[in-house]
Amino acid sequence: MHSLAQEIRSFSRANLRKQRTRVTTLTGRRVIETWRGACLQVEEEAEAVPGGGFVRDLSCDLQVGAARRAAGPLGAAGRVTHILNVAYGVQNAFLNDFIYKTISILDLPETDIISYFPECFEFIEKAKIQDGVVLVHCNAGVSRAAAIVIGFLMNSERLSFASAFSLVKSARPSICPNPGFMEQLHKYQEQNIKKQNDFFY
């Protein structure tokens, strides 16, 4: 059985559809952000508009974006079997195609992401025992899903935070767990080190 780390290393970013995000900045300037390879390209979309800045993502991410990508190139190839949905307010759209686990998590620095680890990890481990492949998704695949996968690698593969982060970043360059999650992942590493040290005494 391959480890999750090996799966991530062998994963090709070419399997993911390109994502375009329309953003209105604080000054009212409209731009389109597109990931090409490991680079973020920004294009001017239209003239400035009055009002405060906000992110307006017209892609399908807020509905079924990540699941639809899995049902496309990955799901069709028979790779993804399970989907861990850690978004807030995103419905599971392909109930006949995948085994789902939904855990609604808010992408806020004060959210205790580590408290969700046991339930998330149990689902991933059960899928691995069944030789399944798990897609972890949130609303944009940037903060919550990344934090869960990084935490899982730290726990199951005994990787350091830096190694786990680097591995996930290499597979999906746009990851950026919020500052609160980053701090908690560093503390999680300290907890794991302490547990290992206690085990050997």
Please report which helix (H) or strand (E) contains residue 166, including its range. helix 161-171
Beta bridge mates, 31: 23, 44
Adjacency order of strands within the sheet including 99-102 = 99-102, 82-85, 134-137
**Residues 66 and 140 sit within 8 Å (Cβ to Cβ):** no
**Residues 27 and 53 sit within 8 Å (Cβ to Cβ):** yes
Catalytic: which of 60, 120, 138, 176?
138
Which amino acid, 113? Answer: I
Q: Is 138 a known active-site residue?
A: yes
Distance CA 182, CA 184 (A): 5
Number of Cβ within 10 Å of residue 13's Cβ equals 13
Q: Which residues are catalytic?
A: 138
